[in-house]
Amino acid sequence: MKITAILKKVTLIVCAIAMLSTLLVGCGNGSKEKIVIYSSNEDYQIEFMKERLKKQFPDYDIVFQYKSSGEHAASLKATGTKTDADISIDIEYGYAAQIAKLGYFADLTDISDFSVFTDDAVQSKYYIPEARYSGCIAVNRDRMEALGLDMPESYEDLLDPQYKGHISMPNPTSSGTGYMFLLSLVNAWGEQEALDYFDELAPNILSFTSSGSAPVSSLAMGEVAIALGLTSDAVNQISNGANLEILFFEPGSPNSLYGTAIIAGKEQRECVVEVFKYLTTTLNQEIRGVYFPEKIYKDKDFTQEGFPQNITYADMTVENPSEYKEALLKKWTH
């Protein structure tokens, strides 16, 4: 009987220890919690973030999955809160608004401090500002000279047959960068005139890329002479030795805001909130100081060597941005 009683006590102790171990398996308790981040950032940004997050959270397994803007949004719309992602970063506001409307993003009111951002950058309690990206027309001086091409001075100039097959731009249906070029001309010229313009431009386009960074990458490699792409990408290529020139045409530089969100329900995981807070505060400001200095913070300004100053931005305002984007892209497709 004594042996039986002892065995029962041992069994109870073992069970208690097992239950306690189960409770302790979680964020911040030394276990390798996995946190999945969907990102549309460029490779060099992702590597920067991975390095910093690994140093800050050595006990977490933080995994980045790159997705182009369109793929990023489509994936979250399709899977909703059942996605394997915990955090969505670098998602364009038009797409973010669509996903938030579906109820797939967590309310960040009690998680994030929105007061540090400029008024125009704060547009929803479901995603926090991450970056403002501007677009430019970048040209490869060496390629232009080798081909004997004239330097363009306007969007209309790009219709000249001399540029046939020498221009690259992102596809608006898959790239937020491509969409901001489309929207800027829609706001300046009217919807039909802008769509007609891109129909006329299409014969001169070597490729409509799925990635926003691909045109400037192709430009730096000399595969094309002209690229419609991000100002930051052009600056980065120039800093790496590419002989590029950055141009801005009327009606000004296309620009777009991008944000970071937590998938609804995932805010219940302490580790996700912990990583999210670091990602959207300390780390985001570090990235703005290194790569993307355009204004989103009220009391913080960043500079980057070689980055154009006093950029004139195009009008990007639109009512019901998520609904309008969906409708405009349908017209682009057809």
Rounded to whole angstroms, the Cα distance separating 85 from 79 reads: 10
For the chain, list the strands marked E by DSSP.
33-39, 60-66, 87-92, 128-140, 167-170, 205-209, 226-230, 244-247, 255-262
Q: What is the pLDDT of residue 289?
A: 86
Rounded to whole angstroms, the Cα distance separating 96 from 303 reads: 27
Q: What is the pLDDT of residue 11?
A: 47
Question: Which secondary-structure segment (H or E) carries 232?
Answer: helix 231-239
Nearest alpha carbon to residue 213 among 248, 164, 176, 254: 176
Q: What is the pLDDT of residue 242?
A: 97
304 found inside a domain: no
Q: Are residues 121 and 188 in the same domain?
A: no
pTM: 0.78
297 found inside a domain: no
Q: Are residues 90 and 64 in the same domain?
A: yes
CATH of the domain at 268: 3.40.190.10
Handedness of CA 202, 205, 206, 212 (dihedral sign): negative
239 found inside a domain: yes
Q: Are residues 327 and 211 in the same domain?
A: yes
Number of domains in the chain: 2
Q: What is the pLDDT of residue 24?
A: 41
Beta-bridged to residue 253, according to DSSP, are: 313
Q: Are residues 145 and 164 in the same domain?
A: yes
Q: Are residues 53 and 182 in the same domain?
A: no
3 found inside a domain: no
CB contact at 8 A, 250 and 137 = no
Instruction: Give the torsion through C-alpha atoms of 319, 325, 328, 333, to 10 deg.
Output: 180
Q: Directed axis angle between helix 93-101 and helix 176-189, to 10°?
A: 100
Q: Which amino acid is at 300?
A: K
Strands 255-262 and 87-92: antiparallel
SS3 193: helix
Residue ranges of the chain with pLDDT lower than 50? 1-4, 6-7, 10-11, 13-26, 28
Q: Are residues 139 and 128 in the same domain?
A: no
Q: Are residues 238 and 267 in the same domain?
A: no
DSSP letter string, 249-288: -TT-B-EEEEEEEEBTTGGGSHHHHHHHHHHHTHHHHHHH
Nearest alpha carbon to residue 117 among 280, 256, 276, 263: 280
296 found inside a domain: no
Q: Are residues 185 and 321 in the same domain?
A: yes
303 found inside a domain: no
Q: What is the pLDDT of residue 215?
A: 97
Residues spanned by the domain of 169: 133-255+312-333
Q: Are residues 321 and 177 in the same domain?
A: yes
Q: What is the pLDDT of residue 321?
A: 82
Q: Which amino acid is at 47?
A: E
Q: Are residues 141 and 127 in the same domain?
A: no
Q: What is the pLDDT of residues 84-93, one digit of tens each?
A: 999 999 999 9
Q: What is the pLDDT of residue 31?
A: 62
Instruction: Give the torsion through C-alpha atoms of 304, 310, 311, 312, to 10 deg.
Output: 160
Q: Are residues 230 and 323 in the same domain?
A: yes
27 found inside a domain: yes
301 found inside a domain: no
Q: Are residues 159 and 264 in the same domain?
A: no
- Is residue 193 classed exposed, middle or buried when 0-12, 13-18 and 19+ CB atoms within 10 A define those classes? exposed
CB contact at 8 A, 262 and 111 = yes
- Residue 137's φ and ψ, nearest 5 degrees, are -105, 115
